[in-house]
């Protein structure tokens, strides 16, 4: 190849279309909007630059729609100046932790349903988790069954869940 062709190929590799640039900027702004949904404590764990942190915190305080839009654009502009990979990683880890926690809570709800429906489930739970207060659990199960039969408020039903949640940690789930 001649040098003219090589120069053209090199400039084509460096050239980014205006549409692609706008999409990248919009993606950064959307990433910034995900930050605005987090609490201040969680934001501090991300180790954001101070100006971006302040921009996100002030976004959370604004109520005017036009001001929110301007602030979102400002956050997007600040996001262009930093490496966003650690932020993306943190948000995806956070999302994964939430889904794992939701799965844990769903397992506890399922266990509670089984305990109320079947006495054999109680022996399984006792064998898996011997540290659970058996007498309290039996009393709560009995009361929950009475509440269901009488159509009363599910006070014992909720108490069973709380007992299971306190006694069975996410780490001990199998």
CATH number assigned to the domain comprising residue 46 = 1.10.60
Q: Do residues 108 and 146 share a domain?
A: yes
Higher-confidence position of 144 and 98: 144
What's the CA angle centered on 81, arms 79 and 83, to 5 degrees?
A: 75
Token readout for 112 is 């509670």
A 10 A CB-CB count for 84 gives: 15
Mean pLDDT of the chain: 84
Torsion of CA 126, 130, 136, 137, to 10 degrees: -30
Residue 11 has pLDDT above 70, yes or no: no
Residues of the domain holding 121: 101-167
111 and 63 fall within a common domain: no
User: Are residues 75 and 126 part of one domain?
Assistant: no
Given a cut of 90, whether residue 133 has pLDDT beyond it is: no
8 and 76 both lie in a single domain: yes
Name all contacts of 1-8 with Cβ < 8 Å and 24+ positions apart: none
- What's residue 132's pLDDT? 87
CATH number of the structural domain spanning residue 117? 1.10.60.30
Q: Give yes or no: residues 71 and 114 share one domain.
A: no
**What distance in Å separates the CA atoms of residue 25 and residue 32, rounded to the nearest whole number?**
11
Examine the pLDDT at 76 and tell me if it is beyond 80: yes
Structural domain contains residue 107 = yes
Same domain, 13 and 59: yes
């Amino acid at each position: 190849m001649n040098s003219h062709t090589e120069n053209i190929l090199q400039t084509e590799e460096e050239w980014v279309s205006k549409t692609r640039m706008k999409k990248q900027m919009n993606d950064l702004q959307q990433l910034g909007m995900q930050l605005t949904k987090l609490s201040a404590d969680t934001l501090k764990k991300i180790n954001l630059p101070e100006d971006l942190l302040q921009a996100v915190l002030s976004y959370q305080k604004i109520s005017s729609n036009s001001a929110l839009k301007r602030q979102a654009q400002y956050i997007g502009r600040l996001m262009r100046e930093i490496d966003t990979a650690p932020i993306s990683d943190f948000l995806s880890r956070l999302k994964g932790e939430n889904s794992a926690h939701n799965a844990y809570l769903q397992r506890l709800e399922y266990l509670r349903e089984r305990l109320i429906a079947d006495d054999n489930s109680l022996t399984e739970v006792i064998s898996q988790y011997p540290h659970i207060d058996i007498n309290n659990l039996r009393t709560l199960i009995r009361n929950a069954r009475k509440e269901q039969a009488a159509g009363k408020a599910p006070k014992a039903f909720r108490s069973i869940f709380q007992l299971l949640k306190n006694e069975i940690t996410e780490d001990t789930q199998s």
